[in-house]
Amino acid sequence: MEALLAIGTRKGLFIARSSGGGPFEVDPVRFSTIGVHSVAIDTRGETPRLLAGIEYGHFGPSVMWSDDLGQTWQEAATPPVAFPERTGASLARVWQLQPSPTEPGVVWAGAEPASLWRSEDGGKTYSLVEGLWDHPTRPEWQPGGGGLCLHTVIPHPTDPRRIAVAASAVGFFRSSDGGASWEPANRNIRAPFLPEGAQYPEFGQCVHKVAQHPAKPERLYLQHHFGVYRSDDFGGSWTDIGSELPSDFGFPITVHPSDPDTVYVFPLHADMDRTPVGHRYNVFRSDDGGAEWKSLGDGLPDGPVHSTVLRDALVASEAGVFFGTRDGEVYRSENAGLSWTLIARHLPDVLTVRAAVL
């Protein structure tokens, strides 16, 4: 058994490997000095495929793929994600790469400006999902602090017609017809940054991340700009589950790979003080769908620490629970967060982590 960890950073991609349950060893950097904002490990085929959304700087963003676990990489002959001329838009970044659980060869991509893309060749080339791009609310969409980014794609694990996305600062949208039409699904999510009396809008929510467990696909967990929420009807309505946390501001949220009631978050002090609560790295876990939370920091630095964890830099997988920080440290827990070990340090700013057992 081999566990693979992909670490996308501001200046390159790092692949870490563990064989037979041993320690992770980090390979030399790939795409050195190039930003890697999204990574996927596609294990659906006989040969695993790695996908990386990169930002070339002067040459712009692109998507690369590797069929030999990151040793060599390929790129489509033409730009793989390119807006149709009629949109007048140009690609700023690929924020998310998500293989479809129900359609072989299909990979979804979320991008900036907020848009959804579909690949039918395993993630080599993509076409714009025009139903979302042409949504009548689009003229009113506003960017969050990180831009107008579609950062979360949630394809339903059993029904290919159902798919949901989240964008900042647009909100949560879902489709029941394969992406032809979309509806905002933000009921009961409070936007405290809006004026009094307008804090529960139909859209305009600053959603930071959404997570789903395939065993209970109607169950979703959402980290908002202020607030942690759960939905039990695929976003039809939301319930606040963050009141027992020391802070309900944060970016990442992830679900245990075998238990849909176990969810992890990484709280920060506030939007104007984006440092860990108590200036300590602490992952908070709930084992009952958000009713109660416990702090998990054994093995992490005593502090004070002032770095943070971004929306895609915390992941729970069969290989363990992992998070990476903006000061270049990566930690792993082999026991669902009860204790942590350091995998890497002195990396560039960690943007995303993804893990899989091969």
Residue owning tokens 């944060």: 250
> Does 193 score more than 90 pLDDT?
no
At CB < 8 A and 24+ separation, what contacts does 227-235 make? 227/189, 227/190, 228/253, 228/265, 228/290, 229/188, 229/189, 230/289, 230/290, 234/156, 234/162, 234/164, 234/174, 234/185, 235/164, 235/172, 235/174, 235/185, 235/186
> Does 22 score more than 90 pLDDT?
no
Read off the pLDDT band of 183 (50, 70, 90): very high
Q: In the chain, pLDDT over 70 holds for what percent of residues?
A: 100
Read off the pLDDT band of 21 (50, 70, 90): confident
What per-residue confidence (pLDDT) applies to 57? 78
| Mean predicted confidence (pLDDT) in 29-56 | 96
Give residue-wise pLDDT tens across range 258-298.
999 999 999 999 999 999 999 999 999 999 999 999 999 99
What per-residue confidence (pLDDT) applies to 1? 76
Give residue-wise pLDDT tens across range 301-358.
998 999 999 999 999 999 999 999 999 999 999 999 999 999 999 999 999 999 999 9
| Mean predicted confidence (pLDDT) in 24-39 | 96
What per-residue confidence (pLDDT) applies to 56? 86
Contact status, residue 108 vs residue 127, Cβ threshold 8 Å: no
Give the integer Cα–Cα distance in Å for 196 and 160: 39
Give residue-wise pLDDT tens across range 167-178.
999 999 999 999
- Residue 86, SS3 per DSSP: helix
Give the integer Cα–Cα distance in Å for 313 and 299: 18
Give residue-wise pLDDT tens across range 112-155.
999 999 999 999 999 999 999 999 999 999 999 889 999 999 99
Distance, CA of 3 to chain centre: 20
- The residue among 20 and 325 whose pLDDT is bigger is 325
Q: What is the mean pLDDT of the chain?
A: 96
Contact status, residue 42 vs residue 123, Cβ threshold 8 Å: yes
First to last CA, the chain: 6
Q: What is the dihedral of CA 86, 91, 94, 99, to 10 degrees?
A: 20
Which pTM does this prediction carry? Answer: 0.97
DSSP-derived letter for residue 308 is: -
What per-residue confidence (pLDDT) applies to 29? 97
CATH class of 42-342: mainly beta
Question: How many residues belong to the chain?
Answer: 358
